[in-house]
């Protein structure tokens, strides 16, 4: 998908959303002493789309999100939210936004339903708390104290709070960290439903699969700058030029293999990932080497590049580094 076009789901619903820009950021800057945490980034989030900001730790991603959530002041740059230019995100903007913080917490001695009631008093309009608890699967915990909830349950409560005011723009900062795979899928479904309703979502995540599955537009950030952006497929097409062979070999065989494919092989325990430009030729070389040395190649598979590979090739780091 390219920017400004209809998303497929929105088109199916017959509603024109994508031309409405909910958030536009131009040349945003923020420094902490001599460190430039955010160094002149620009992007926009449109209605009915999910925008994913990816970056390794220290890339400036959290600072960017916290500025947009109204928790920090930018040093420079322009923020346009819901069509209005704002110096700082204030109560009027926050009333139309939903925020799921990466590092947030609720009063441990309040009950789940009391937390929702308390937060609903902060907004002019609210969704039914019972319906939200049901949506995030916490109905049976309505009377439980927050301190008795597991990490995943707290995350789901935070999602319910973020959805409380039926926001036009939703910030999801690592929404599925700490959730089991089933709960993660459930959050994806909720997020996709929000997009279907024509709302905008600003997502940061450590899970590439999440970004690939959900995001309409991905921006990759490193050292305070956006170094690449586009749809996931576009990024993979532009930066993922290699095919990957993955297999397991004994650790002691790796040095010889890396001499055969200099700079192309990565080792993670017994698992090896080999980036190849010419699949038939390189696969043949690999098999010949293994046969000649008597090395067993276990669990061999061939895969296409994904967002993780793009990220690695652009930043030199894995997302979780």
Partner 1 sequence: MKAALALGLSFFRISLRERESLFWFWIFPLLLLAFLGAVFGRVEKGEMDLAIAVVDLDRGPLSQALCALVREIGEGGLFRVVEVPEAQGNPGEWAQREVREGRIHAALIIPRGFSITLQGFPLSGSNPAPVEVLYRRGEAGSSTAASILYEAAEEFGRAFLAEAGLLRREIPVEKELVGGEERAMDYVEFILPGIILMALFINGIFQVPSAVVLAKEKKILRQYFATPVSGGQYLVGFALASLWMCVFQVAAIWALGYFAFGARVPLLRPEALLYLLLAFGVCLGLGFLISSFSRTYASAMALSNLLNIPMQFLGGLWFPLAFLPGPLRIAMALNPLTHLAQGLRAALGLGTPSFPKWVSLLVPLFWILVSAVISGKKIRLTEE
- Contacts to partner 1 by CB under 8 A: 66, 69-73, 91-92, 94-95, 99, 101, 103-107, 109-110, 114, 117-119, 121-123, 145, 158, 161
Instruction: Please report how close the Cβ of residue 102 comes to partner 1 at its closest, in angstroms.
Output: 9
**Backbone torsions φ then ψ of 52, nearest 5 degrees:** -110, 130
Q: In what order do the strands lie in the sheet containing 76-81?
A: 35-46, 21-32, 76-81, 84-86
Cβ 67 vs Cβ 73: under 8 Å? yes
Instruction: Please report how close the Cβ of residue 32 comes to partner 1 at its closest, in angstroms.
Output: 10
Cβ 271 vs Cβ 246: under 8 Å? yes
Q: How far apart are CA 59 and CA 2, in angstroms?
A: 25
Cβ 161 vs Cβ 119: under 8 Å? yes
Instruction: Please report how close the Cβ of residue 245 comes to partner 1 at its closest, in angstroms.
Output: 44
**Which position has the token pair 């040095």?**
255
- Kindly tell me which of 148 and 304 has the beta carbon lying closer to partner 1: 148
Instruction: Please report how close the Cβ of residue 312 comes to partner 1 at its closest, in angstroms.
Output: 31
Instruction: Please report how close the Cβ of residue 175 comes to partner 1 at its closest, in angstroms.
Output: 14
- Kindly tell me which of 53 and 272 has the beta carbon lying closer to partner 1: 53
Pairing of strands 76-81, 84-86: antiparallel
Instruction: Please report how close the Cβ of residue 91 comes to partner 1 at its closest, in angstroms.
Output: 4
**Backbone torsions φ then ψ of 43, nearest 5 degrees:** -170, 175
Q: How far apart are CA 26 and CA 72, in angstroms?
A: 16
Residue 125 token pair:
């309009």
Cα dihedral 307, 240, 60, 35 in deg (nearest 10):
160
Tell me, rounded to whole angstroms, the distance of Cα 238 from its chain centroid. Answer: 20
- Kindly tell me which of 117 and 223 has the beta carbon lying closer to partner 1: 117
Instruction: Please report how close the Cβ of residue 37 comes to partner 1 at its closest, in angstroms.
Output: 12
Residue 96 token pair:
């139309």
- Kindly tell me which of 5 and 117 has the beta carbon lying closer to partner 1: 117
- Kindly tell me which of 128 and 268 has the beta carbon lying closer to partner 1: 128
- Kindly tell me which of 69 and 308 has the beta carbon lying closer to partner 1: 69
Instruction: Please report how close the Cβ of residue 71 comes to partner 1 at its closest, in angstroms.
Output: 6
Cβ 43 vs Cβ 55: under 8 Å? no
Q: Select from 239, 250, 320, 249 the least CA-distant residue to 275.
A: 239
**Backbone torsions φ then ψ of 81, nearest 5 degrees:** -125, 130
- Kindly tell me which of 10 and 164 has the beta carbon lying closer to partner 1: 164
- Kindly tell me which of 110 and 227 has the beta carbon lying closer to partner 1: 110
């Amino acid at each position: 998908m390219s920017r400004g076009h209809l998303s497929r789901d929105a088109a199916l619903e017959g509603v024109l959303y994508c031309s409405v820009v909910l958030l536009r950021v131009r040349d945003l800057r923020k420094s902490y002493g001599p460190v430039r945490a955010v160094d002149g980034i620009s992007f926009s989030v449109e209605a009915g789309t999910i925008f994913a900001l990816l970056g390794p730790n220290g890339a400036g991603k959290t600072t960017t999100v916290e500025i947009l959530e109204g928790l920090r002041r930018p040093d420079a740059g322009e923020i346009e939210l819901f069509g209005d230019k704002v110096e700082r995100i204030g109560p009027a903007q926050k009333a139309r936004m939903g925020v799921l913080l990466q590092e947030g917490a609720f009063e441990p001695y309040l009950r789940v339903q009391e937390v929702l009631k308390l937060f609903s008093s902060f907004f002019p309009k609210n969704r039914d708390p019972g319906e939200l608890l049901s949506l995030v699967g916490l109905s049976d915990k309505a009377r439980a104290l927050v301190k008795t909830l597991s990490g995943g349950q707290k995350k789901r409560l935070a999602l319910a709070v973020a959805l409380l005011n039926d926001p036009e723009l939703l910030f999801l900062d690592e929404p599925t960290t700490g959730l089991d795979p089933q709960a993660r899928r459930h959050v994806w479904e909720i997020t996709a439903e929000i997009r279907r309703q024509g709302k905008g979502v600003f997502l940061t995540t450590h899970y590439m699969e999440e970004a690939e599955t959900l995001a309409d537009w991905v921006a990759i950030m490193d050292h305070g700058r956006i170094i690449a952006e586009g749809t996931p497929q576009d990024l993979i097409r532009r930066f993922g030029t290699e095919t990957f062979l993955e297999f397991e070999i004994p650790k002691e065989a790796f040095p010889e293999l890396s001499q055969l494919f200099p700079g192309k092989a990565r080792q993670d325990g017994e698992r090896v990932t080999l980036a190849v430009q010419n699949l038939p030729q390189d696969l043949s070389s690999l098999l010949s080497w293994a046969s000649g040395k008597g090395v067993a190649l276990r669990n061999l598979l061939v895969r296409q590049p994904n967002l993780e590979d793009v990220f690695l090739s652009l930043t030199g780091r894995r997302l979780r580094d």
